[in-house]
A and B are shown apart, each in its own frame.
Chain A
Amino acid sequence: MKHISTIAKTERKSTVIGCAECQSSCQSACKTSCTVGNQTCKQEERINNTKKKETL
């Protein structure tokens, strides 16, 4: 494409499934202002936080 470049997209499979094993506590969300997108998926254990070495 000339004008649009997709730089990230979520695998639909992992977006839709719900094992419900992810964190639910106030520590993982509420006491840090309910930013749900920041939470770790217990199945994959991957989040920017653990990508320390990949950042600049």
Chain B
Amino acid sequence: MRLITHSFPFTYKGETFYLVYHPYSNSLHSVDRKAYLVIKNKYEELSPQELADFSALSDEDVREIEAEIAELESQGLIGVDVTFPYKKSDVVKALCLHVCHDCNLRCKYCFAKEGTYNTARDYMTEEVARAAIDFLIEKSGTRHNLEIDFFGGEPLMNMSVVKSAVEYGKARAKEAGKELSFTMTTNAVLLNDENIEFLNREMDNVVISIDGREEVHNRVRTTKSGANAYGAILSAARKFRAVRGDKRYYIRGTFTAYNLDFAADVLALADAGFDQISVEPVVLPPDNPMAITSDKVGTVLKEYDKLAEAYIDRRANGKWFNFFHFMIDLESGPCIMKRLSGCSAGCGYLAISPVGDIYPCHQFVGEEGYRIGNVLDGSFDPSIRDTFSEITVNNKAKCENCFAKYYCSGGCVAASHYYEKDLFTPYGAGCEMMKKRLECSLGIYAVEKKYNEKR
């Protein structure tokens, strides 16, 4: 029988919380240190110091704790992990429309090669956008909630097509009895009043790219001519935030080896007035000076601890904000099918290039051997989709005994492809950071719950 249970300490202001997480039941237990040692010894490996402390426990303590463990085991709340069966589906429910393979910024870490994805600087036409929407509706089966993300390059550089696609998509969705949500990921350079009004009205979510502190942002995100654009971008993003109210948006930053003290960037964005923030590690080949190489991962993990403490403090003291990677829902959250399949790239989620070519996701656009078909000529090769439909966490050997597997679903398929050269092997550096973020999320949950109950 496979057993997975993760025990870890989480420290906040000098107080250590001993926590035990059971992925199969998604349950979190707060334990004393004695129980922490007994549980960790049963399901994981103790450090030499922990082993010495464990050996010093009294027989009575161990018996008591083992009895409590047995009770939790009988309830399925600790220990056991059984493979959930995965139900394959050939339904498409989300498209990433590359409305523009051009960009007005030249970010040094851009995976999209200045927005071109190693293809021409094409702009999507209305004809292609309409064909993509028709394709989505046709392939969506009985699925009711559908999504289209406007992406690039920089999508605001092709606003006329974005606007006509929204109009057409709404009409087609209404005819088909579907709910179609639109989202956009933008660098905000062209986020003027007119665009703000449109995006606020039509977009279910808007992701705006800002990397945090001005000097950090300007070092890696410049205009085509190499000029700084931070001031204008921040001003436009704040304007958008001001009108956005409670509707969904994210300020989305990237941290690199240049700013391993990225907690300061998260807090800088919060100080700038944003309350929905996501700052994420760059994914680059190890020979790139900005890459988060294995020797830097330890520093990143410590920085997450630092951020977690500041995060709890701010939220407790009238400066609430949400950090995407610390969000967790232990009472409910996504269903198990979602947890097994992740983003469903190549199956439920596909990307459409400006000329209508279909790819498994935006990061595969332009990648040789991964063109699935074209929305204009109606071609569709199911063999690539069939391969991607097998990419669930159940089929990733390295994930089998990982406590985070129902949170990351085996990680990004594109990162696996580009950096591990295998669709079924999770990107190693990403795994360590993911596990740390999950520990921080659980720790924050435990601390906030304790202090909420005290109030």
Interface residues of A (CB under 8 A from B): 1-12, 14-42, 44, 46-49, 52, 54-56
Contacts and interface: CB of A to CB of B under 8 A. Distances in A.
Contacts of B437: 35
What band does the interface of chain B fall in when counting residues whose beta carbon is under 8 Å from A? 35 or more
Given A20-B143, A22-B338, A52-B320, A4 B434 contact: no
Nearest 8 Cβ contacts at the A-B interface: A18-B337, A9-B27, A8-B330, A37-B407, A3-B35, A10-B26, A25-B94, A56-B316
B158 interface: no
Contacts of B363: 30
Contacts of A8: 26-28, 330-331, 445, 449
A40 to B, nearest CB: 8
Given A32-B280, A35-B324, A27 B412 contact: no
20 contacts: A4-B30, A4-B39, A9-B331, A16-B336, A19-B335, A20-B348, A21-B143, A22-B338, A24-B147, A24-B349, A26-B362, A29-B343, A30-B363, A32-B207, A32-B280, A33-B278, A39-B334, A48-B327, A54-B452, A55-B448
A28 B27 CA distance: 24
A49 B96 CA distance: 24
B80 interface: no
A26 B185 CA distance: 10
Contacts of B434: 33, 35
A50 to B, nearest CB: 9
B375 interface: no
Contacts of B449: 7-8
Contacts of A30: 343, 345, 361-363, 412, 414
Given A10-B330, A37-B339, A56 B32 contact: no
Interface string B75-112: 01100000010010101011110000000000000000
Given A15-B26, A26-B362, A4 B31 contact: yes
Contact of A34 (B71, B145, B412): B412
B428 interface: no
Nearest to B455: A56
Contact of B84 (A16, A21, A22): A16
B335 A15 contact: yes
A54 to B, nearest CB: 7
Contact of A6 (B28, B183, B316, B455): B28
B334 A9 contact: no
Contact of A9 (B34, B330, B451): B330
A15 to B, nearest CB: 5
Contacts of A39: 333-334, 338
Given A1-B71, A24-B343, A24-B344, A41 B335 contact: yes
A35 to B, nearest CB: 6
Contact of B335 (A1, A3, A16): A16
Contact of B338 (A2, A12, A33, A36): A36
B156 interface: no
Given A11-B332, A18-B335, A20-B337, 11 more contacts: A6-B77, A15-B25, A25-B147, A26-B96, A28-B147, A31-B207, A32-B250, A33-B281, A38-B328, A49-B327, A56-B312
Contacts of A38: 324-325, 327-329
B152 interface: no
Contacts of B20: 4
A42 B322 contact: no
A21 B144 contact: yes
Contacts of B336: 15-18
A6 B72 contact: yes
Contacts of B68: 1-4
B315 A56 contact: yes
Interface string B178-193: 0000010100000000
B265 to A, nearest CB: 15
Nearest to B25: A9
Interface in B165-207: 183, 185, 205, 207
Contact of B207 (A15, A27, A44, A52): A27
B356 interface: no
Interface in B31-79: 31-32, 34-35, 39, 64-65, 68-69, 71-72, 76-77
B349 A4 contact: no
Contact of A36 (B34, B69, B89, B334): B334
